[in-house]
């Protein structure tokens, strides 16, 4: 059964329907996971003190770094293989050893924090995260095996059930006064449920096995996966770590809260955009005429224009109403995070076009060009973090905007040179369809508090959101009707 499993989708009577069904289930499980994590995150910031949340943010960054190292791409190795019995046993053995080693290192550091540095809160959190790492590595291997067998629906249900269990435990712990440890308890239960359920569905337990040739193959595959994930980790968590070390956990808490608030929009824009980009750019590449990627060029214009028009009202609107959103969702204690939210909205808007870089340069045969550019971009971002974090959260956020401007300039160059993206037309489209509506949105959102005197805070916020969205959408549609045929490729 395992030998034939990777070919199940392709050999079904309706292969296309099976593939679409698999994508839907995977997307649904990921969406549920994102929503539950965002909900727990906001609840935690509502209940925890900024200092307590800041400590959790710093320790969780260390835990995530440990997971990046420990997981090592073992699940991805299984996903690309034929899942032979001996291969699964060897990969599972290496994963188990990796998880034990990293967990042991984490427990050692937590002991150091608790005993020698007299920081028991940080030591206890790191102990819990160390246990989470071991479970995460083991569960990822079995999840990879289920994906290799084509059991997408069962894997999706397992992930949804595990996320729900972790959500309930985290919410219960937070409301009962367990503090930031409740968040880690939720993560641990999520991985434990995933591991047990995946093992039951997979129906096979690994036996200790190890061969030199397999170790060499694993190392050759793992080093690329870990390198890419490490680059992403630095770009995502370097600011929190630098603030926690150089200034303190309070500022790290404010910064991480602002990042998470803005990234909630980015996740809802980013994941669907990447998924759709892979599909439509590949389809456009197959439809090109005479070796000239005109179809890809036109698709890049449509995709980038749509992405910018979707991101403009979201990020601009959040930046304008940041104080109200922070106070409503997180509480008055978190108001110092509001200006950080406004600045980070600019950073994320600048990074929007980068969502399509990977699928665009991959379908045109230049995927190897992306990693060096990504490494340079992250190096610039980390350098900005190290230079400006000691000066405070606002200088750091502004520096991150500068790093984002550099990163998007590099990504745009990749898109133009290797992906044949038509950026001049994209800029014209955005100037016509997005610039004036954005100004109108800013004016309406700014003037509503002056006009609508006497409304409650939440009523005012809802009115600003709906009025701004309506103005932007109406003017964009009007501009498209007047000039869309000439400009939109």
CB 345: neighbour CB atoms within 10 A?
26
Cα–Cα distance between 190 and 325 in angstroms, integer?
29
Name the nearest CA neighbour of 36 among 178, 139, 183. 183
Cα–Cα distance between 263 and 351 in angstroms, integer?
12
Residues 6+ apart with CB under 8 A from 95: 71, 72, 74, 137, 138, 140, 141
Cα–Cα distance between 152 and 350 in angstroms, integer?
34
Residue with tokens 């509502």: 46
pLDDT values of the chain reduced to their tens digit, one per residue, 489 residues: 333 333 333 344 444 555 556 667 766 777 788 788 888 888 888 888 888 888 888 888 888 889 888 888 777 777 766 666 677 888 888 888 888 999 999 999 898 888 776 778 888 999 999 999 999 999 988 888 887 777 878 888 998 999 999 999 999 999 998 989 999 999 999 999 999 998 898 887 777 777 777 777 778 777 767 776 777 777 677 778 788 777 878 888 888 889 888 988 887 787 677 767 776 777 776 665 545 467 778 888 888 898 999 999 999 999 999 999 998 888 888 899 999 999 999 999 998 888 888 778 877 777 777 778 878 888 888 888 888 988 889 999 999 999 999 989 998 998 888 878 889 999 998 998 999 999 999 999 999 988 877 788 888 999 999 999 999 999 999 888 877 555 555
Between CA 263 and CA 274, with CA 269 as vertex, the angle to 5 degrees is: 115
Q: Which residues pair with 292 in a beta bridge?
A: 289
Residue 322 is predicted with a pLDDT of: 93
Residue 488 is predicted with a pLDDT of: 52
Name the nearest CA neighbour of 192 among 236, 229, 162. 162
Say what the pTM is.
Answer: 0.75
Residue 289 has φ and ψ, to the nearest 5°, of: -110, 130
| Domain boundaries, given as residue ranges, for the chain | 5-210, 249-487
Cα–Cα distance between 489 and 429 in angstroms, integer?
9
Annotate 177-229 with DSSP letters as a single string. T-TTHHHHHHHHHHHHHHHHHHHHHH---------HHHHHHHHHHHHHHHHHH
Torsion, CA 173, CA 175, CA 178, CA 184, rounded to 10:
40
CB 343: neighbour CB atoms within 10 A?
21
Annotate 30-57 with DSSP letters as a single string. HHHHHHHHHHHHHHHHHHS-HHHHHHHH
Residue 489 is predicted with a pLDDT of: 53
Residue 266 is predicted with a pLDDT of: 84
């Amino acid at each position: 059964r395992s030998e034939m499993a990777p070919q199940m989708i392709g050999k079904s009577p309706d292969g296309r329907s099976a593939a679409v069904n698999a994508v839907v289930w995977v997307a649904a499980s990921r969406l549920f996971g994102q929503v539950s994590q965002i909900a727990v995150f906001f609840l935690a910031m509502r209940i925890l003190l900024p200092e307590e949340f800041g400590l959790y943010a710093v320790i969780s960054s260390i835990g995530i770094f440990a997971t990046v190292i420990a997981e090592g791409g073992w699940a991805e190795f299984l996903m690309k293989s034929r899942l032979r019995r001996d291969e699964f046993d060897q990969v599972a053995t290496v994963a188990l050893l990796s998880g034990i080693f990293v967990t042991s290192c984490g427990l050692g550091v937590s002991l150091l924090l608790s005993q020698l540095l007299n920081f028991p809160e940080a030591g206890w959190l790191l102990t819990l995260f160390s246990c989470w790492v071991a479970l995460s590595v083991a569960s990822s291997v079995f999840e990879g095996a289920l994906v290799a067998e084509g059991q997408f629906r069962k894997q999706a249900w397992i992930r949804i059930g595990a996320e729900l269990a972790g959500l309930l435990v985290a919410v219960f712990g937070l409301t009962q006064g367990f503090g930031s440890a409740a968040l880690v308890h939720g993560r641990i239960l999520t991985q434990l449920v995933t591991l047990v359920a995946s093992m039951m569905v997979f129906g096979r337990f690994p036996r200790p096995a190890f061969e030199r040739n397999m170790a060499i193959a694993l190392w050759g595959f793992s080093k690329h996966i870990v390198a890419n994930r490490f680059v992403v980790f630095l770009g995502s968590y370097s600011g929190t770590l630098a603030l926690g070390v150089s200034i303190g956990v309070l500022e790290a808490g404010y910064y991480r809260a602002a990042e998470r608030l803005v990234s909630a929009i980015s996740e809802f824009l980013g994941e669907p955009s990447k998924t759709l980009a892979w599909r439509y750019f590949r389809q456009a590449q197959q439809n090109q005429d005479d070796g000239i990627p005109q179809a890809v060029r036109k698709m890049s214009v449509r995709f980038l224009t749509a992405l910018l028009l979707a991101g403009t009202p979201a990020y601009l609107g959040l930046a304008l109403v940041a104080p109200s959103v922070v106070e409503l969702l997180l509480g008055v204690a978190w108001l110092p995070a509001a200006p950080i939210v406004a600045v980070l909205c600019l950073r994320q808007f600048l990074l929007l076009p980068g969502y399509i870089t990977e699928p665009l340069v991959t379908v045109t045969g230049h995927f190897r060009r992306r990693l060096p550019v990504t490494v340079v971009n992250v190096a610039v971002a980390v350098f900005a973090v190290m230079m400006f974090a000691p000066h405070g959260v606002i200088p750091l956020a502004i520096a991150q905007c500068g790093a984002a401007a550099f990163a998007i300039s590099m990504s745009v160059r990749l898109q133009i040179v290797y992906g044949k993206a038509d950026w001049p037309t994209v800029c014209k489209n955005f100037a016509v369809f997005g610039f004036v509506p954005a100004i109108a949105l800013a004016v309406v959102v700014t003037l509503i508090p002056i006009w609508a005197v006497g409304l409650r805070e939440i009523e005012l916020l809802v009115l600003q959101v709906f009025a701004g969205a309506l103005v932007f959408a109406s003017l964009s549609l009007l501009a498209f009707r007047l000039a869309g045929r000439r400009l939109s490729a």
